[in-house]
Amino acid sequence: MDPLLLVLVVLVVVLLLAVLMLLALQFLQLRSSRRDVETAVISEKLSQLEPVSQAVTNIQRDLTQLQAYTRARQDLERQTAESIRRLEMVIAGTQTKGAAGENILEAVFAQLPIEWQVRNFRVGDKAVEFGLRLPNNLVLPIDSKWPATHLLEQFAAADDPQDQQRIKAQIEKAVLDKAKEVRKYIDPNVTVNFGVAVVPDGVYDLSAGIYVDVFRLNVALVSYRMFVPYLLLVFQTVLETSQSFDVQRLDAYLRSAEESIQAAQEELEGRFSRAITMLTNSRNELSVLLSKVSSGLTSLQISASRPSAGELPEPGGVGEAEDVPKLEGFAED
């Protein structure tokens, strides 16, 4: 073989190998470049997702804080409700028969002008805790003691509707008894013609069925939260109407006279009427008995004047025989 040809063949082979190596190198570079591009794209995408991840983290943190706040709020509301319940019981006077509620009203009452305030106001032999002196110089008696707080506690603890109705009826009876007590503080000479009974808000809400009955006793039923607004309303009403002392006294006397007449009528229709009926029945029975006695005496008198079978009339006693009364249907021999 020609050496020159052999050299040419070797050169061609070397060139081919060089070309293949260049192609392989370019392929590797291209692949590496593509990989870098993909990595850059992925990194860019990840960098774009980083705010979302941060937002999710923030949301999770906020949710955790919100849950903690909600639990704290629920605990606070429960504690507040319990505190309010205890405060209501204290105001009503669980242990002191209304003294705590009276102290609360004392603090509120003290905010009124001093010339309006009357304390331990005496009406006859009775004393009422508070009184409101009105522009006409009359006093509005105010009773704030509420001794039946245990009924409120029983009503709050009762689950059975029948038990609740039974306790509600007891509360209404206690309110009516309180209204009757307040009525004793009304005196036309020194007070207006009605009084005020202040009760806890829960009692006021449960007493809706007897508002009219309490009003008929000339007593206004007022809750603790309505106490001051009601007093201001009464004072403003008296101030605007400007009624004279004599007119109000006349109205009070007329009401008192009407109540006395009604009581007298009830007495006439009650015990007095029953007494008359008993006397009439007694008179009728006595009349019957006297009639029986009279009839018996008459029969005895007739029997005594009739001649017996063994007796004969005395001679010459014709005139005496004529005086003997004759019985109807008696056949003479």
Where residue 322 falls among pLDDT bands split at 50, 70, 90?
very low
Q: Report the pLDDT averaged over residues 91-95.
A: 46
Question: Per residue in 3-19, pLDDT tens?
Answer: 767 777 777 777 777 77
Where residue 312 falls among pLDDT bands split at 50, 70, 90?
very low
Distance CA 115, CA 112 (A): 8
Is pLDDT of 186 > 80? Answer: yes
DSSP string, 239-297: HHH---HHHHHHHHHHHHHHHHHHHHHHHIIIIIHHHHHHHHHHHHHHHHHHHHHHHHH
Q: Report the pLDDT averaged over residues 29-48.
A: 71
Where residue 48 falls among pLDDT bands split at 50, 70, 90?
low
DSSP H helical ranges for 93-148: 99-109
Distance CA 133, CA 228 (A): 14
If one compares 254 and 323, the residue with the highest pLDDT of the two is 254
pLDDT of residue 38: 72
| 112-136 core/surface letters (b: 16 or more CB in 10 A; e: else) | eeeebebeebebeeeebbbbbbbeb
Instruction: Yes or no: say if 221 and 175 are a contact pair by the CB < 8 Å rule.
Output: yes
Residues 6+ apart with CB under 8 A from 116: 132, 133, 235
Q: Report the pLDDT averaged over residues 78-106.
A: 60
Question: Per residue in 127-164, pLDDT tens?
Answer: 888 899 988 888 999 988 776 777 877 887 888 888 88
pLDDT of residue 49: 62
Range name among 88-102, 191-205, 270-284 with the lowest pLDDT average: 88-102
- Which residue's entry shows tokens 């007070």? 191
Residue type, 184: K
Distance CA 171, CA 198 (A): 14
